Amino acid sequence: MVKVLKSLQKILSRGCSSSGTVSPVKQPNGTPLNRCFTMPSTLFTIVLLLLLTTVVVVVQSGKSTVNPQVKRKREAKAKAKKMFLSKHGMVFDSYGRVLRWGKDPTKYECKENKKIGLYCTVTDSSTRKYRTKEEERRGKMIKLDKQAELDGQFGSGSDDAKKARRRRKENRRRCSLYNEWLENFEKDKSEKHKGFYNWLNGQFADFQTLRRLSPGRRGLKKARKLYRNIAREIHSDKLPEDCRKDNMKSMMSTILGKVESVRDCIAEPHTCAEGEL
């Protein structure tokens, strides 16, 4: 940078003297011509080139001034976020409806490890009740695939490789979610699993909506629709093949029984046991 400035100073000093003396070069009418103005385009070009050179030097040198520790921490956080989102991202049912809303990490904890170096973990997160562009695309593709599947039942439509891959990927996401349910279900040893159902509120969108409905004709209409949606997904015959174990079927049957109970409470609140909703 210093060299660039010195070169610029030399060029300018050649064009004009410090005392402001006039160049001996004269115009056709005999009037002396000031050399400060004889080559404006040349000087402008030189100055512009020098400035561009300075910018390139600054940009190149900026790459080496990044703090290595800051870079390592940023990369470790990015890795932790990616792993967190793979486990806590949005999950859709087989019709493209939201089973569980996604979560965004809000706090991280980073530590040094002798074997793996710096690593970070997500310590807190918030539920995100909206869809990203990628999730909007996923939901639409699931709906289209389901429609094609239903249409194929009445025709000779064949399943292409892309649809099959998408279905397997979404089934793995659903099975991962259901396995998380099963883990928490088996931890709750109480008879009515009250603690588990309170936890399930934040993991199952339709279940949460159902429990928030008010008794009455309008609430009952919505409750019946939600019951059909839930039964369509968690009934033992509707589960993905990879998560049809006996303990999984038993849990889903218990959840479906709870859903029926909540629906009946909305229909006839006077027959509903206290705290059933």
For residue 5, give every residue at least 6 positions away whose Cβ sits within 8 Å of its Cβ, in sequence order, or none.
none
How crowded is the C-beta side of 116, counted as CA atoms within 13 Å? 7
H or E stretch at 108: strand 102-113
Task: Give me the mean pLDDT over the 122-129 stretch.
Answer: 90
DSSP assignment of 170-184 equals: HHHHHHHHHHHHHHH
Token pair in block for residue 264: 């009946």
| In the predicted structure, residue 85 carries a pLDDT above the cut 50 | yes
Residue 149 Cα distances to 81, 140, 161, 208, 236, angstroms: 35, 14, 13, 29, 20
Residue 251, class by beta-carbon neighbours within 10 Å (0-12 exposed, 13-18 middle, 19+ buried)? buried
pLDDT score of 88? 86
pLDDT interval class at 260 (50, 70, 90): very high
pLDDT interval class at 149 (50, 70, 90): confident
Listed range (34-43, 181-190, 199-208, 245-254) with the worst mean pLDDT: 34-43
Query: Three-class SS string for 116-165?
Result: CEEEEEEEEEEEECCCCHHHHHHHHHHHHHHHHHHHHCCCCCCCCHHHHH
Token pair in block for residue 232: 């369509």
Rg (CA), the chain: 35
Position with higher pLDDT, 39 vs 158:
158
pLDDT interval class at 145 (50, 70, 90): confident
- Phi and psi at 213, nearest 5°, equal -70, 145
> What are the domain boundaries of the chain?
2-16+24-64, 68-134, 173-271
- Helical axes 40-64 vs 2-15, angle rounded to 10°: 170
Return mean pLDDT, the chain. 80
pLDDT score of 270? 78
Listed range (33-42, 48-57, 71-80, 182-191) with the worst mean pLDDT: 33-42
The residues facing 111 across adjacent strands are 119
C-beta separation of 266 from 223 below 8 A: yes
